[in-house]
Amino acid sequence: MDVARIFSGRPVAESSLLVRCIFFSSRHRCMFRGGSEAPFAQTLLALCSYAVEQGRATDGLAGALAALRDVDAKHRLGVARCCAAEIALRHGDAGRACEYAAEAVEIAQLMARPSELVLAHTVLAQAAAVAGDEGTLQAQCDALASLPSRTISSSAQRALSDLHAEFGTVAKPENT
């Protein structure tokens, strides 16, 4: 499932409907076995609420993220925190965006996932720029410049290109 597609470029109502469908299908599957599907679906719903309520639904999101952490769903937690950081940025909460993105970076590093690492560093760089934190911005740009860009997804390449266009301090992604 490409979570980024659920949220990017879609109206919030459509995103919410998609996530509800995912939640109910995941919930049905989880009645027969344990796992991270239901907590992840609940997190997607919490992300929709957070987006719709313009950043006010932080308690529900915090609980959903904690549930993902409890089931040790590192990849899903990293993706969710990256999405939460993007939503926080859209709502002008750079501090919270930095918090969400910083953990997404840690998780992507731990799991050695290049695309997720690029996406998390990119969001953290954007949040740092909005917060006026030049040190964190430069650290993220330096980290991005040191990553191989040939092995990342097209969405990560786009994010890197957008960051380069905005700040000009990170390496342009190479064409694959």
Is 43 within a domain?
yes
Is 176 within a domain?
no
Task: Tell me the CATH number at 101.
Answer: 1.25.40.10
| pLDDT 10s digits, 117-126 | 999 999 999 9
Give the range among 16-25, 58-67, 88-97 with minimum mean pLDDT.
16-25
What domain count does the chain have?
1
- Cα(124)–Cα(106) distance, rounded to whole angstroms? 11
Place of tokens 């299908």: 25
Report which of residues 66 and 146 the model is more confident about: 66
Give the range among 40-54, 108-122, 128-142 with minimum mean pLDDT.
40-54
